[in-house]
Structure 1
Amino acid sequence: MPSTPVIAGEQRPALLRTARDVADDLAADAIVRDQAGEPPTDEAARLREAGVLAALTPPGPGRGTDWRTGCTVIRRIAAADSSVGDVLARHYVHAWSGRFYAGRHDAAALEEQSVREQWLWTGAVRVPVPDEDTEGPDLTLRPRDAGHVLNGIRFVEASVAVADQFVVDAVCGATGDVLVVRVPRGVRGMTTEPARDRLGQRVVGAGRVVFDRVAVTPAQVLGRRPQDEESTAPFTALAEPALRLALCHVALGIVEGALSEARDLSRGGRAYRLPGADPDLFLTYGELASAAQTATAVVDRATEVMAQALDTGTRLDAEEPAGVAALVATAETVASKAALHVTARVLELADAPGLDRFWRNARVLTAQHPAAHRLRSIGEHYLNGSHRAVAAAFH
């Protein structure tokens, strides 16, 4: 039976101890599971049995986890296995979907059910991009007497074979509105196609989800996603930056895991250069440790600002999300650079089976969002305070 979920607001130390224990368990067979590249069925079971899935839901009376603590848990687990950290990051942020798109009051019952059932969340909600030309929506909703019918195909970055709830956006054919909906696993007409032979993040469970005349009840419609950033509610505008920031903590976990493993190999004599009085080795580790600490400082700053914005809730000022998003884009840029640099350099320091997985995982995690695109958007926001630039940064 699953254990009782740990509530971070009252028992933060207990949750962090649980995260450490789960991380130690995952680290013991991380290389074997990476080589197998199977969907995270066993990994999801470990998270559920430890109570982590129930704990990493939005905070409420007697349940859930605050943003700062949730990100700490994600980072600790990602240091042991970044694929599982990725699964957990997406689960935590998608569990906030009711608040992002429906509001805190409307989301309460859904969040309570998620805790009781220990749901694993995933999804893929697209960001409105200024002046984007598209060939039409990949997911559509057709109204019917008791709700809608969902059709189309969407690529989801994690947990397609094991998630309990999928959050996606789709265009209503009757009104043109973009609606965010929640689809439970196993409903009629829904099938999944896991991606195979990935370079890295092999255990994350990415793949395609096919919706073929899937019934969507009114209760499964979380809310409306505006089609442009100007009309997006301030709190709703935090949804995509929150996901990208949670993934920054996965990147930091990769950095911490790679450095820790390389250090242990050096101390154990399984390195190209052994510790002792080698000034070049000290210089290299000093450089890498400094890069890791710099990235951590930037990501932690963005995490604090995001936490304050989430605590403000629907009272959030209309201008605040742009500043939060720009800071998250900066954190993503710094964390991605550190992850790629550190994981490549540790391969020059030590020789051991599986050490390459950190570099492979970093490459896959960071490949989707080019740094130059983000930097231009950050610069435009800095110079002009442009909301368009912030939206484009997360395309």
Structure 2
Amino acid sequence: MGLASAPPAPTSPSDRTGPGHAHWLRVAREAADDLATDTVTREQAGKAPFDEVSRLREAGLLTLLGPAESGGGGADWPTAYAVVREVAAADGSIGQLLGCHYFLSWSAQFFAEPILAARTEQRSAAEEWCWGGGFARQEPPLMLARTSRGLVLDGRQSYTTGVLVADRLAVRAVREDTGEPLAIAVDPTRRGVRIDGDVDTFGQRLAAGGSVEFDDVSVAADDVLGPLSADTDEDFLSPRAALASPAGHLVSVQLLLGMAEGVLAEAREYSRAGQAPSHPAWPVGTAHDPLVLTAYGELTVLTRSASALADQAMEAVQGALALGEDLAYDEYADVSALVAMAEAAASRAAQECTTRALDIIGPRSTSARLGLDRFWRNARTHTLNEPVAHRLRDVGDYFLNGAHPPFVLPA
């Protein structure tokens, strides 16, 4: 058993032709700069991010992963991960919203048959859908029943990202007759769907989170994307479908790293300026203070180390996606374990950076006008929803006993 080396990628070129990584990274930086101009004001207002989604749509970032022939960006997952990280550095909430959208908009590729997956992907790109929802297991589950009128969906899904602004909802439901868990895509304008913006979190306020109630909602055959499973039964999901777990968790990794890099960048500007821009009378600790230098050094090493591990995980996921149905279960386990390591490292980096950056700035960091607290609140909200203690246990079990990490979709 190796330590999660990336499987070899095939040499055949990708059929997803688009402008390329450099182009989309430039677009993401421009979008992030735009978001950064009013992040504090928007975050404190806490309104549903319709305007922010419009900015992403106009920049072409919503359709980034869609096929170019259908109006999409034709980009790959490494590009999508880089975009999420850039946006998260400026606005963690919108970074989460965008990352969740990428994962859910790709869900048909993981779980659906090829023809349905292509049809869903093409329509999503052509109509520029924004996706919200989630596949995490919950109790009581949503129930999918077969009636004389066809399939109907009932139940309530608690807090999920993006639902307030979504054009499509991707949810997990259980078949009433067999208990089989399924991935389902639902038009939120369909009769019987009620979205409630009842979320009152202290962080990630602009992630458009809310609850969704389904009351006898009609579900068409094409809305049922395919089977899900939270079990470890390898016969239940193909390795290709199981890749939804590490691919989704790697979105979390990039989001956390973006937050860590964002808060360090803002703190560095304050330290270099010698004063806080909004409060000239409040001097920032000298840029030559040994304690300040040591703190920046430690946080830089922590973040860069987590970033290097994330890069390894990203290469592994991309290689596994390229192998498709040729991916073996042992290779999948290697990839899943490596992503778990990267998520644990990124979680620690985000929590350390967002906490200690406030210590570096000192009492001035409590100013609501500076808004530095948003980094800590956003990172802490995310890490509470995506705890890594069980991920570390899975890594230990994999390292010591060779046990395959369980299939767990991100919250």
> 1:120: Cα distance to partner?
0.6
Match of 1:48 among 37, 47, 57: 57
Q: Does 1:279 align with 2:279?
A: no
Q: Does 1:240 align with 2:245?
A: yes
| 1:169 partner letter | R
Q: Distance in 2 between matches of 1:379 and 1:274?
A: 41
Q: Does 1:329 align with 2:323?
A: no
Relative to 1, partners in 2 of residues 1:238 and 1:255: Cα closer, same or farther, differing over 3 Å?
Answer: same
Q: Distance in 1 between matches of 2:357 and 2:124?
A: 40
Corresponding residue for residue 391 of structure 1: 407
Corresponding residue for residue 315 of structure 1: 326
| 2:136 partner letter | R
Q: How does 1:14-93 map to 2 (within 5 A)?
A: 14-57=23-66, 63=72, 64-93=74-103
Q: Distance in 2 between matches of 1:146 and 1:373?
A: 42
| 2:250 partner letter | L
Relative to 1, partners in 2 of residues 1:146 and 1:311: Cα closer, same or farther, differing over 3 Å?
Answer: farther
Corresponding residue for residue 181 of structure 2: 178
Q: Does 1:229 align with 2:232?
A: yes
Q: Distance in 2 between matches of 1:391 and 1:108?
A: 24
Cα distance per residue 1:97-140 (max 9 Å; x no partner): 1111114443112111111111011221135xxxxxx9x64200
| 1:349 partner letter | I
* Helix, strand or coil at the partner of 1:65: coil
Cα distance per residue 1:158-205 (max 9 Å; x no partner): 111111111112111123322211101211000111134311111111
Corresponding residue for residue 257 of structure 1: 262
* Helix, strand or coil at the partner of 2:171: strand
Relative to 1, partners in 2 of residues 1:154 and 1:296: Cα closer, same or farther, differing over 3 Å?
Answer: same
Q: Distance in 2 between matches of 1:332 and 1:23?
A: 23
CA contact (8 A) 1:19 1:76 kept: yes
**Identity, % of aligned pairs?**
42
| Bigger mean CA offset, 287-296 vs 145-154 | 145-154
CA contact (8 A) 1:156 1:206 kept: yes
Cα distance per residue 1:131-161 (max 9 Å; x no partner): xxx9x64200111356410000112431111
> 1:26: Cα distance to partner?
0.3
Structure 1: state its 5+ residue gaps.
1-6, 128-133
| 1:110 partner letter | T
* Helix, strand or coil at the partner of 2:169: strand
| 1:370 partner letter | P
> 1:9: Cα distance to partner?
4.0
Q: Distance in 2 between matches of 1:294 and 1:227?
A: 31
CA contact (8 A) 1:79 1:253 kept: yes
| 2:176 partner letter | G
Corresponding residue for residue 366 of structure 1: 383
Relative to 1, partners in 2 of residues 1:316 and 1:253: Cα closer, same or farther, differing over 3 Å?
Answer: same
Q: Does 1:153 align with 2:156?
A: yes
Corresponding residue for residue 118 of structure 1: 128
Match of 2:373 among 356, 370, 379: 356
Q: Distance in 2 between matches of 1:341 and 1:36?
A: 27
TM-score (norm 1): 0.90
Q: Distance in 2 between matches of 1:59 and 1:95?
A: 15
Q: Distance in 2 between matches of 1:188 and 1:56?
A: 29
CA contact (8 A) 1:76 1:253 kept: yes
Q: Distance in 2 between matches of 1:122 and 1:347?
A: 32
Q: Does 1:376 align with 2:393?
A: yes
Q: Does 1:203 align with 2:219?
A: no
Corresponding residue for residue 307 of structure 2: 296
CA contact (8 A) 1:8 1:55 kept: no
| 2:160 partner letter | E
> 1:369: Cα distance to partner?
3.3
CA contact (8 A) 2:134 2:161 kept: no
Cα distance per residue 1:304-337 (max 9 Å; x no partner): 1011111112221122222211111111111000
CA contact (8 A) 1:124 1:168 kept: yes
Relative to 1, partners in 2 of residues 1:177 and 1:170: Cα closer, same or farther, differing over 3 Å?
Answer: same
Q: Distance in 2 between matches of 1:147 and 1:223?
A: 17
CA contact (8 A) 1:166 1:182 kept: yes
Relative to 1, partners in 2 of residues 1:227 and 1:390: Cα closer, same or farther, differing over 3 Å?
Answer: closer
> 1:249: Cα distance to partner?
0.4
RMSD after superposition:
2.2
* Helix, strand or coil at the partner of 1:149: strand
Cα distance per residue 1:15-54 (max 9 Å; x no partner): 1111111101100000011111122211111111111101
Give the number of the structure with larger relative contact order, counting CA–CA contacts within 8 Å between residues 6 or more apart. 2
| 1:262 partner letter | A
CA contact (8 A) 1:168 1:181 kept: yes
| 1:300 partner letter | D
Cα distance per residue 1:317-372 (max 9 Å; x no partner): 12222221111111111100010001101101222420111111110010123333
Relative to 1, partners in 2 of residues 1:343 and 1:99: Cα closer, same or farther, differing over 3 Å?
Answer: same
* Helix, strand or coil at the partner of 1:313: helix
Match of 2:143 among 140, 144, 147: 140
CA contact (8 A) 2:245 2:407 kept: no
Q: Distance in 2 between matches of 1:183 and 1:56?
A: 20
